[in-house]
Amino acid sequence: MKVKITPFNAAGSIFAPPSKSFAHRYVIAAFLSGKDCVIENVGLSDDVSATLAAVTSLGAIAKRRGGDIVVSGKRSVLNATVDCAESGSTLRFLLPVAAALGVNAEFTGSDRLMSRPIDDLARAINGHGATVSGHTVSGKLESGTYYLNASLSSQFVSGMLFALSVVDGESEIILAGEKVSKGYIDITVSVLREFGVNIRETENGFKIVGGYNPPERVTVEGDWSGAAFPLAVGALTGQVTVKNLKYPTLQSDGAIVDLLKKFGAKVYVSNGEVTAAAGELSGVSDIDCENCPDIAQVICSVAAFAKGKTSLKGIERLKIKESDRIAAIINTLKTCGVKAEYDNKTLTVYGGAPKGCAFDGGNDHRTVMSAAVIASAANGGSTVDGAEHCAKSYPEFFEDIKRLGGKIDVNF
């Protein structure tokens, strides 16, 4: 699906989409608790829908009710085929969960997802009563001591925390290497504690005792990674307010507030609302995306209009996301006449005057939305191909941009 975007002056307010990070975790925790729980404001993103379908395959009794999910226990399942679609969180969280539940499971998904690395997660599981071979799980996980390289993916750590939350007895996770995306691990720990799981952080990892005491109802907070895109539009073209955003937040992508300020945008936070307004933008040096990789692309969209150079580090893992996002950033900016280069450590964007053009979304939701941000303020009209991929995380993205005054024409 292709959209045509004419530059505009953004004005108005919208509600942030539900946080994928919290929604994934609430659905899994509610399933593992085996008790009744209502999860409010889950939304309709493809990734969270993948997690709901996956836990249902593993035995959850759950259904959608509008934008909410109602979990009413779980059933025993011995064998399952678990389709994770394109969701890395679904695969990496639930593969160890299947092992903990003793479900012989085969995990499937898109070609890109199946090519993303899980070897370190498999090594941590193997030898503890369960076996992971490729994307197939057999046996039943036991309590014990588990070793993980925390520098590869926070999702591996979160997956093991979920798994050990339903294994009898106390277990320990010992982490090697510097934690990447630590904020996402913090969200997992927060959700597990909210569901009554006994979990304690140690000097080099976690100790966790299996068992749940869940709440009857939880509410998913607004998503900072999604909100970053309309806030960037406000910083470039006018003034945008995004509601239902908790600040401070455990979501590392809340860093967009300080980053937009550093660029020179006018940003105000008050009572769960964040407003970003246009200002004179200048490049920012040494932006560390280690803990907020999901906003690297939208940062570069803003940097394209900022005077001078902007440099980003801690972005190596962008190569193994839904696409090679480092290449996507460089190609997107090149298409609109902005130079960017990567030296295997630092990505540098040379701000300029982006021109309207035909953007290729590269089958990646964040690439599509980042291109749309540029198109909103570029010199001349643009088209963005692949708009349907926004459904992965932010199905209402283009409708929200329209609510802010966006001149968008959708063609099939």
Task: Kindly list the catalytic residues.
Answer: 294
Angle at 96 between CA 106 and CA 77, to 5 degrees: 55
Amino acid letter, 151? S
Q: Tokens 């909103």 identify what position? A: 376
Whether the Cβ atoms of residue 408 and residue 402 lie closer than 8 Å to each other: yes
Question: DSSP class of residue 390?
Answer: G
How far is 131 from 129, CA to CA, in rounded Å? Answer: 7
Helix H or strand E encompassing 311 = strand 309-313
Strand ordering across the sheet containing 339-342? 287-288, 309-313, 347-350, 339-342
Residue 91: alpha-carbon gap to chain centroid: 13
Structure tokens at 313: 């580090």
With CA atoms as reference, report the closest residue to 176 among 147, 145, 144, 146. 147
Nearest to 84 by CA among 22, 150, 8, 159: 159
Amino acid at position 380, single letter: G
Start-to-end CA span in the chain (Å): 5
Q: Which two tokens stand for residue 151?
A: 């520098």
Residues 16 and 229: beta-carbon distance below 8 Å = no
Helix (H) / strand (E) element for 100: namely: helix 88-101
The encoded tokens of residue 228 equal: 């970053």
CB atoms within 10 A of CB 109: 21
- 382: its two tokens: 């643009």
Q: CA–CA separation, 143 vs 112, rounded Å?
A: 32
Q: Interhelix angle for 154-164 vs 182-194, to 10°? A: 20
